[in-house]
A and B are shown apart, each in its own frame.
Chain A
Amino acid sequence: MAFRNKRLMLRSVEPDIEQLRRLRDGDEDVFVMLVARYHQPMLRMARTMVSSEAVAEEIVQDTWMGVVRGIDRFEGRSSFKTWLYRILINRARSAGAKENLTTSMESLHSVDPTRFDNQGNWADPLQQWRDDTESRLDAATLVPVLESALEDLAPRQRQVVILRDVEGLSNNEVCGALGITSGNQRILLHRGRARLREILDSKVEKD
């Protein structure tokens, strides 16, 4: 993975109805465009649901087949991307994805409790990240840090963080795709983001 410079452009790859019709009718250009944009991200998501790389690949291929063959069932009520991830998640589940519901490894605290005094206030000042942290990340120092932190999240947290913060789906879209409640989604997102912040905090340069 690398940082996405063309992020906005990539995010806007949302086929219109005409393109989807062409996809159904065999237009390879449309297929190639969609595959270039979504295949690898879908693989990353599939890997959070099954343990084998081969099975993850199969699930994503199966998803593409479902898209091509089921295009007439896409009604445009959700975004194409949401529809795509919904198919992917359903395929992964029917392929025997283990619903990893264990929470034993998950911290219930956003911040290590030892960082607070006995009144519940910060024991030591929180050091600010340098203002240019976000742009400086292009320098690639923190990319591997963030990637491995993401990999290490509990699967449910990782799924929510990927769909919300990497793919940019809305709260409602994520709840629909994963079949979880809005409250549950917020908890998973909260813990996932808190964990990523903690890891980044140990690595970024401070003011």
Chain B
Amino acid sequence: MLTLRRKDLVCQQAVELVTDYLEGSLSRRDRRRFEAHLRNCPNCSAYLEQIRATIALTGALEVDELSADARQDLIDLYRRWQSE
């Protein structure tokens, strides 16, 4: 049984560092602790992968196309602004 060293992260702490890690805003020391934790923890590694997948999926969301009517209304407004 491994004894938990004081500097070791537990999973509940590690998941709270994920965004700072991805943003590159962890201190060098915290980044090392985080990466060391990931190397030994398949669950937190899976968690990080899920966050990455979530970001990719969110980035693939798109809105419906602008309707032809709405587009025409905007063009009419644009013409009005030009003539004012």
Q: List A residues at the B interface (Cβ < 8 Å).
A: 1-4, 7, 10, 26, 28, 31-32, 35-36, 39-41, 43-44, 61, 64-65, 68-69, 110-111, 113, 116, 119-122, 125-129, 133-134, 137, 142-143, 146-147, 150, 161, 165-166, 168, 171, 182, 186, 189-190, 193-194, 196-197, 200-201
Q: How many residues of B contact A (CB 8 A)?
A: 43
User: Is A110 in contact with B75, judged by CB distance below 8 angstroms?
Assistant: no
User: Is A65 in contact with B62, judged by CB distance below 8 angstroms?
Assistant: no
Q: What residues on B are CB-neighbors of A10 within 8 Å?
A: 62
Q: What residues on B are CB-neighbors of A41 within 8 Å?
A: 63
User: Is A26 in contact with B46, judged by CB distance below 8 angstroms?
Assistant: no
User: Is B4 in contact with A119, judged by CB distance below 8 angstroms?
Assistant: yes
CA distance A137 to B58 in the complex (A): 11
- B62 touches which of A2, A150, A189 (Cβ 8 Å): A2
A35-B71 CB under 8 A given contacts A119-B4, A120-B11: yes
CA distance A179 to B56 in the complex (A): 26
Q: List B residues at the A interface (Cβ < 8 Å).
A: 4, 10-13, 15-16, 18-20, 23, 25, 42-44, 46-47, 49-51, 53-66, 70-71, 74-75, 77-79, 81-82
CA distance A161 to B75 in the complex (A): 30
User: Is B74 in contact with A64, judged by CB distance below 8 angstroms?
Assistant: yes
Q: What residues on B are CB-neighbors of A113 within 8 Å?
A: 12
Q: What residues on A are CB-neighbors of B61 within 8 Å?
A: 1, 3-4, 143, 146-147, 150, 166
- A32 touches which of B10, B54, B71 (Cβ 8 Å): B71
Secondary structure at chain B's binding surface: helix, strand, loop or mixed? Answer: helix
Q: What residues on A are CB-neighbors of B58 within 8 Å?
A: 146, 150, 161, 165-166, 193, 196
A128-B12 CB under 8 A given contacts A1-B63, A39-B74, A166-B58: no
User: Is A122 in contact with B64, judged by CB distance below 8 angstroms?
Assistant: no
User: Is B12 in contact with A116, judged by CB distance below 8 angstroms?
Assistant: yes
Q: What residues on A are CB-neighbors of B13 within 8 Å?
A: 120
Q: What residues on A are CB-neighbors of B44 within 8 Å?
A: 122, 126
A129-B53 CB under 8 A given contacts A28-B75, A64-B78: yes
